[in-house]
């Protein structure tokens, strides 16, 4: 009944026009306008009965169709939420892994800061395939944060692991070779280009090492916030799926079944 009332409120003007149109038409045709004046009261009662029956049938068909579309949309959303869970779990594992590693870096912050442009700290490689389907997460803000954080982590791992001293040594070897060559020698121009390119790259890496070391506390905080949001979203999704009978209750397991005594 409530649905019908809501539809009446939502489409009140259309319903009003549908009802008033045959009444106005009947009154207009009954005017003494020559051949326009047709029918009697009995025929108009019959017409109104057929008309109202057709309108009522149309309204019922509309309500049924709309209700069916809403059910299909809801089912589609429920299925998509179910697909989110393994994606969220994968990203959650990756964030926990990187958070643990970043905190280790933070513990050595003072030592690293003393050699801020030359330090090297190896971080375990992340499984980037776990991030590939984050576009399926139906939360634009969380999705955007994950994408940006993924790129940030990727660069963090790359920069932290680069050994500046090795790059400097390789560059010095090429510079030494260049000094022994004449500009007319074969390969001089190519070598000079390589030196220029590697020098620029070295400066970029030095700046990035300082930058990412300074940004590390914020990176840790961002990772913790994403983890918190993922955990809350997973819990909410489980609740929604249970309420909508997405799971087979007979096959559901309980967390306590996986507890291990230590």
Convert the pLDDT of each residue in 158-173 to its tens digit: 888 888 888 889 999 9
Is residue 57 domain-resident? no
Distance CA 190, CA 258 (A): 62
pLDDT per position as a tens digit, 100-159: 988 888 888 777 777 777 777 788 878 888 998 998 898 999 999 999 999 988 888 888
Span 165-188, average pLDDT = 88
* Phi and psi angles of residue 247, each rounded to the nearest 5 degrees, phi first: -90, 155
Distance CA 173, CA 169 (A): 6
Span 65-81, average pLDDT = 82
Dmax of the chain from CA atoms?
115
Q: 79: pLDDT confidence band, cut at 50, 70 and 90?
A: confident
Is residue 22 domain-resident? no
Higher pLDDT, 31 or 73: 73
232: pLDDT strictly greater than 90:
yes
Is residue 160 domain-resident? yes
Structural domain of 102: 85-247
Is residue 230 domain-resident? yes
33: pLDDT strictly greater than 50:
no
Between CA 222 and CA 227, with CA 226 as vertex, the angle to 5 degrees is 115
Q: 220: pLDDT confidence band, cut at 50, 70 and 90?
A: very high
Higher pLDDT, 87 or 70: 87
Is residue 141 domain-resident? yes
Span 33-57, average pLDDT = 62
Q: What is the pLDDT of residue 115?
A: 78
Is residue 144 domain-resident? yes
Query: Quick one: what percent of the chain has pLDDT higher than 70?
Result: 77
Is residue 171 domain-resident? yes
Distance CA 227, CA 186 (A): 56
Distance CA 163, CA 165 (A): 6
Is residue 152 domain-resident? yes
Does the model's pTM come out above 0.75? Answer: no
Q: What is the pLDDT of residue 123?
A: 80
30: pLDDT strictly greater than 70:
no
Q: What is the pLDDT of residue 34?
A: 47
- What is the total count of domains within the chain? 1
Query: Quick one: what percent of the chain has pLDDT higher than 90?
Result: 22
């Amino acid at each position: 009944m409530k649905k019908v009332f809501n539809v009446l409120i939502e489409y009140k003007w259309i319903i009003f026009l549908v009802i008033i149109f045959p009444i106005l038409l009947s009154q207009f045709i009954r005017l003494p306008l020559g051949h326009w004046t047709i029918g009697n009261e009995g025929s108009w009662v019959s017409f109104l009965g057929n008309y109202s029956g057709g309108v009522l049938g149309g309204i019922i068909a509309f309500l049924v169709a709309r209700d069916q579309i809403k059910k299909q949309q809801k089912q589609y959303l429920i299925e998509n939420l179910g697909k989110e869970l393994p994606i969220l779990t994968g990203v959650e594992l990756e964030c926990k892994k990187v958070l643990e590693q970043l905190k280790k870096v933070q513990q050595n912050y003072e030592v690293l800061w003393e050699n801020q442009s030359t330090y090297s700290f190896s971080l375990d490689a992340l499984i980037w395939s776990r991030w590939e389907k984050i576009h399926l997460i139906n939360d634009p803000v969380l999705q955007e944060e994950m994408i940006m954080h993924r790129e940030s982590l990727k660069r963090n791992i790359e920069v932290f692991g680069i050994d500046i001293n090795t790059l400097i040594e390789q560059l010095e070897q090429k510079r030494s070779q260049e000094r022994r060559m004449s500009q007319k020698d074969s390969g001089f121009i190519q070598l000079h280009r390589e030196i220029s390119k590697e020098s620029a790259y070295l400066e970029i890496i030095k700046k990035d090492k300082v930058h990412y070391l300074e940004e590390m506390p914020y990176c840790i905080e961002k990772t913790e916030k994403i983890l918190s949001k993922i955990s809350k979203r997973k819990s909410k999704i489980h609740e929604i799926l249970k309420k909508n009978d997405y799971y087979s209750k007979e096959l559901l397991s309980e967390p306590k079944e996986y507890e291990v005594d230590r």
